[in-house]
Structure 1
Amino acid sequence: MTKTLLITGASTGIGAATARAAAQAGWNVALLARSKETLADLAGDIGEQALALPCDVTRRDELDEAVAQAVAHFGGLDAVYANAGKGTSTPGIEQGDPDEWHAMIHLNVLAVLTTAHATLPHLRKTRGHFVVTGSKAGRDHMKGSVYGATKWFVQGFAGNLAEEMREWGGRCTLITPGMVDTPFFDEPKPDKIQPDDVANAVVFALSQPRSADVREIHIMPGG
């Protein structure tokens, strides 16, 4: 039976690359993002293995509805990739924008928690796998980086969730890339990590046998 992966932040960058890579590896993919048209185009490119579910994952009602639709369409969930995230346009603490912090924390922290809360009952049924995008910024101290602080949360949360899921045979993997060439940045970064590189790491983690619990994959730009 074909397994199903639900991806948040699926419309562009790492999420879209992971959707394509997972589908190529034989997975069904449930695609969650706010961009309805971009998501529909991606699902159309992938074909019958993909289901576009436009939603704002910071809104619990929309997230719950998308998860329910994915489960109804594909018959269950075998893996979830909590990939949605954002940064801020104003760096630093003293000069930072609290409104930007609020929106970022809601997505980078609370939406990761609610994605886990909404999907773990389904993953428990399949002894499934929860994958989450962290960052090198969550492993190092970076001057005045509130974004980095949100990824420090993700770093700790993923380890704690891995221990919780282990009790019933589930797994959790944290992906911690350095700078990735995605729309996250205003200018292209062709010499940095490519979205396909991160996607390949996600598919690698999902493909490991039960005897191997891959807790973290840390990726840095080559060269």
Structure 2
Amino acid sequence: MSKTLLITGASSGIGAATAKAAADAGWNVALCARSADKIEALAGEIGDAALALPCDVTKREDISEALEKTKAKFGQIDAVFANAGTGVEKPGIENGDPDEWHDMIHVNVLAPLLLAHYATPYLKETKGHYVVTGSKAGRDSFKGSVYSATKHFVHGFGENLAEEMREWGGRATVIAPGMVDTAFFDEPKPTKIQPEDVANAVVYALSQPKTAAVREIYIMPND
């Protein structure tokens, strides 16, 4: 039986690239995002190994239902990739927008927590793998950046979760890229990290033998 990976934020960028790379490596992929048209098109491109699951990653019932449908379709869940994330328009603390913070924290902090919580029973069955998108911003300090603070949470959470999962043979990995050429930025960044580069890192972490737990992969542009 092929292994199965559920990906949030799968409609574009890193998530879409990871879906393609994982499918090429022989995985089934469940694609979660709010943009139903985009993930349905991606699933059609990948073929029978893909399942489109429109969902809001900040809603408990959506995550729970997506996991149930994934197992019903493919028989098991071997890994999840908490990739959905967002930023803010107004930087800084004094000049920041608390409403933007509220929405960002729900996506960048609460959503990875919810996915880990609801996915754990499925991953225990397969001694599976939890992967989450961190950032260089989660390793360094950036003046007044609430986004960076949410990624610092992701890095700490990833390590703590890995310690919990190792008790039953599971693994957790934080993928920490620098600037990636995605729609997150207003202008294209063709010389920076490509989504496919990050996807390759995810597949690498997932493909390691059970004796090796890759806790973090830190990727930077090479220009």
Q: TM-score, normalised by structure 1?
A: 0.99
Where 2:175 maps in the other structure, the secondary structure is strand
Are positions 1:100 and 2:123 aligned together? no
User: What one-letter code is carried by the residue in structure 1 that aligns with 2:175?
Assistant: I
Are positions 1:161 and 2:161 aligned together? yes
Where 1:203 maps in the other structure, the secondary structure is helix
Are positions 1:78 and 2:81 aligned together? no
For residues 210 and 154 of structure 1, the distance between their equivalents in structure 2, rounded to whole angstroms, comes to 23
* Residues 68-217 of structure 1 aligned to structure 2 (within 5 Å): 68-217=68-217
CA shift for structure 1 position 149: 0.1
For residues 65 and 168 of structure 2, the distance between their equivalents in structure 1, rounded to whole angstroms, comes to 25
Are positions 1:67 and 2:61 aligned together? no
Runs of at least 5 residues in structure 1 that lack an aligned partner in the other structure: none
Q: TM-score, normalised by structure 2?
A: 0.99
User: What one-letter code is carried by the residue in structure 2 that aligns with 1:17?
Assistant: A
For residues 209 and 137 of structure 1, the distance between their equivalents in structure 2, rounded to whole angstroms, comes to 29
For residues 152 and 62 of structure 2, the distance between their equivalents in structure 1, rounded to whole angstroms, comes to 27
CA shift for structure 1 position 52: 0.1
Percent identity of equivalent pairs: 70
User: What one-letter code is carried by the residue in structure 2 that aligns with 1:112?
Assistant: P
For residues 214 and 22 of structure 1, the distance between their equivalents in structure 2, rounded to whole angstroms, comes to 17
Aligned residues: 223
CA shift for structure 1 position 92: 0.6
Question: Residue by residue, what CA displacement relative to the aligned partner does 1:174-193 show, whole Å, maximum 9, x if unpaired?
Answer: 00000000011111111110
CA shift for structure 1 position 91: 0.6
Runs of at least 5 residues in structure 2 that lack an aligned partner in the other structure: none
> Could you say which residue in structure 1 is the equivalent of 2:47?
47
CA shift for structure 1 position 53: 0.1
For residues 77 and 126 of structure 1, the distance between their equivalents in structure 2, rounded to whole angstroms, comes to 7
CA RMSD of aligned residues (A): 0.5
Where 1:16 maps in the other structure, the secondary structure is helix
> Could you say which residue in structure 1 is the equivalent of 2:58?
58
For residues 118 and 15 of structure 1, the distance between their equivalents in structure 2, rounded to whole angstroms, comes to 20
User: What one-letter code is carried by the residue in structure 2 that aligns with 1:15?
Assistant: G
For residues 101 and 172 of structure 1, the distance between their equivalents in structure 2, rounded to whole angstroms, comes to 26
Question: Residue by residue, what CA displacement relative to the aligned partner does 1:159-203 show, whole Å, maximum 9, x if unpaired?
Answer: 000000000000001000000000111111111100000000000
CA shift for structure 1 position 76: 1.2
Question: Residue by residue, what CA displacement relative to the aligned partner does 1:113-165 show, whole Å, maximum 9, x if unpaired?
Answer: 00100101100000000000000000000011000000000000000000000
CA shift for structure 1 position 210: 0.8
For residues 169 and 61 of structure 1, the distance between their equivalents in structure 2, rounded to whole angstroms, comes to 27
For residues 68 and 209 of structure 2, the distance between their equivalents in structure 1, rounded to whole angstroms, comes to 28
